[in-house]
Structure 1
């Protein structure tokens, strides 16, 4: 997957996905400009204009991801996830750049019984989901040459994530309970970054794509695989969501389909379990 000679700007470059995005794009031959919070404020379009050089691609990895906190401060989440997305799209248009905007499974209600298609109706349950859905709409309405890439259940080496938390708690307690009634697709940030590069290298048309691992499991199933990979002698037991009530509702079904990427000639990310087996050591060693 080569993008030689291109200049990419990664917004949110120091987050868990952003770090992998920079590395993968660089490995593909792109010159990458990294923008973090100290470099540009995506809620201020003039700040973005000043920070973003002439470029071929802008990847927006920046997001307000404090899902529960967003229930109490939806305005702040909207400022980043919706207004910020609109600002990045505007600058992409001004630079003549392709835009990749990273979104989420939380734009769906999670009440399906089959994988959500890219054209499924948005029906967010939470403030976080509403603001991310608004960001998608803003990007689409902007007229930018944009790929909206929804993902879910992200984990990686360069930030806090579910596998690191589970491995730590398992080591501390010797046993733990994890919900078995929320189903989704654990996705490695490295795989998502490679998927995004693949879409751009293939010249995928503007539209919505789903960048998640194939297959599906519950949080309990994922936790069981994490503990096995960690080598910690611990027991994982299933429970349900009533045991862990949170301010923001979580989608119970976060399984996304991959028809659009297949139509663009880009293979979906492999099965979640196979990818976890490959990712586990680098993710857990980074604790």
Structure 2
């Protein structure tokens, strides 16, 4: 099968379209014919040689942490999954390929109304936002600050906080993205120097919870604005979080989270993702170049026929 894979670590140029062995569904596994795969910063870390302790990066390495596709093989011992089912789900590696194999607890049915490109980039940002907001105990009536609100993760976080009943969501972004945030239902503010004062101006009653996807400066501002540091989380500023006594966000992706998120999508409470760009599989390196600029709104997705 074809895959965007690497045989050495380095820049985006090490991602090449190559022929690799096609996987088969073993006992307790399901094979997916991939239609779309989201691109994440996790994937760029893999490409550079970083991996969680439990992950083996033996070459060739196929990145890809989220996918949407069609079940085309069901292994022994798997019940309730049929060949031909349209699904979306998550993996640690392997989604930048025509096929991948996962256990059935790592995917859910794709909503019929959800386009393949949206489905391919749904699980990473969606589950990350769900984990963070749940850890922050976001609840009805809250005022929530989300720094870096215009990206794929931020977009999900804004929509999910509002779906859970937040009274007000304040999102930081460059001015070019302010209308976009208003369209999501957020109150936009410009990031950078003076952020604390700008947030207090639009939230005179205070901020109940804050989520940082922008960097340490935003996290320090969040610590000034939120009284209870247990209600602050960061996706990008681990050292600053340790310094400030802000709890870490542990990995806890699950099928149950995806069931809730796809249900909210079907109810019209999550519009899904703004697509920043789509690339064919052979241009995975270009997709990595774009995500590593750190600019722009929405999600980058690889598409397969």
Which of the pair is proportionally richer in helix? 1
- For normalisation by structure 1, the TM-score amounts to 0.34
Q: Tell which structure's C-alpha radius of gyration is larger.
A: 2
- For normalisation by structure 2, the TM-score amounts to 0.32
